[in-house]
Amino acid sequence: MFEILKHFENKYGSLKKKGLRIEGLSMIDPKRKKHVIMISKPFMFDNRQLPKTYEGLDIKAKIEGELPKEFAFKKDAVKKEYVWAPAKFEKYVDRCAEEIRKQFGNPDMSRQEMLDALAFGNFEEHKKKSLQLMKDGKIPPFKLN
């Protein structure tokens, strides 16, 4: 398993200069002996550059640093509000498009590309998954715009 981590570091280590930190392996389910590769990254990171899984291991990411005001929440409101609601990504991209293009070094980046980059690699997939989680009662209800 450490070989997989080493291969991952070799393949994606160049993203460290963009804020990626590879934290190592972690066991998230001791009963099934399920391991993941733990990483951390800034909010402003192009998630399209990372896979969801690597050689059979899921990639678990956490955001380090400040979140934009659209994503701000009160600690006691976490259960009442979905931090990663799709509309929050849209509001942020609409407000900060030029800053995002500059950060990613792509002056021609479209709104959809920005949404995909920030919303875990695929905005429409995130939106669909979020709606399903909301219907299943696993996350608090949110508005789509």
Residues 84 and 53 in one domain: no
* Cα distances (Å, whole numbers) of residue 140 to 5, 72, 78: 35, 16, 9
For the segment 13-25, the average pLDDT, to the nearest whole number, is 96
Residues 50 and 104 in one domain: no
Location of structure tokens 């919303």: 119
Residues 58 and 74 in one domain: no
- Residue 144: inside a domain, yes or no? no
Range of the domain at 17: 2-64
Model confidence, pTM: 0.88
Residues 86 and 51 in one domain: no
Residues 101 and 128 in one domain: yes
Contact 119, 91 (CB under 8 A): no
Q: Percent of the chain scored above 70 by pLDDT? A: 96
Characterise 59 by phi-psi region: left (phi > 0), alpha (psi -120 to 50), beta (else). Answer: beta
* pLDDT, position 32: 86
Residues 101 and 120 in one domain: yes
Residues 34 and 84 in one domain: no
- Number of domains into which the chain is organized: 2
Q: Is the pLDDT of residue 145 over 80?
A: no
H or E element, residue 129: helix 123-135
User: Model confidence over 88-138: pLDDT tens digits?
Assistant: 999 999 999 999 999 999 999 999 999 999 999 999 999 999 999 999 999
Location of structure tokens 């200069």: 17
